[in-house]
A = this chain, B = another copy of it.
Amino acid sequence: MCEANAYLLKNNSETLIMEAVDKVEPEGDGIKLISIFGDQKFIKGKILSLSLVDHKIFLAEIKS
């Protein structure tokens, strides 16, 4: 399986926010993550980068 882990980058540290992410969908001012188990999480932020071979998704919060 080719799911990935999603990390939030903040102050130079990575926080794991969701494992086994299947779908990544930008929506409005954030990103919707859906895991292979169907769990959903909405992060107010943006995609910094994805590294599929490393199974990593990096997001950053948008300060409002």
Q: In the complex the two chains form, is A51's CB within 8 Å of B22's CB?
A: yes
CA distance A26 to B49 in the complex (A): 7
- Scan A42-58; emit 1 where CB is below 8 A from any B CB, else 0: 00001111111101000
Q: Is A8 an interface residue (CB 8 A)?
A: no
Counted per complex, copies of this chain come to 2
CA distance A60 to B40 in the complex (A): 23
Question: Total interface residues on A, using CB and 8 Å?
Answer: 20
Q: In the complex the two chains form, is A50's CB within 8 Å of B50's CB?
A: yes
Considering only CB atoms, which chain B residue lies closest to A1 in the complex? Answer: B53
Q: In the complex the two chains form, is B21's CB within 8 Å of A46's CB?
A: no
Offer 21 A-B interface pairs, CB within 8 angstroms, sorted by A: A1-B53, A2-B53, A3-B52, A3-B53, A4-B52, A21-B52, A22-B53, A23-B49, A23-B50, A23-B52, A24-B47, A24-B50, A24-B52, A25-B50, A26-B46, A26-B47, A26-B49, A36-B53, A47-B47, A50-B50, A52-B52
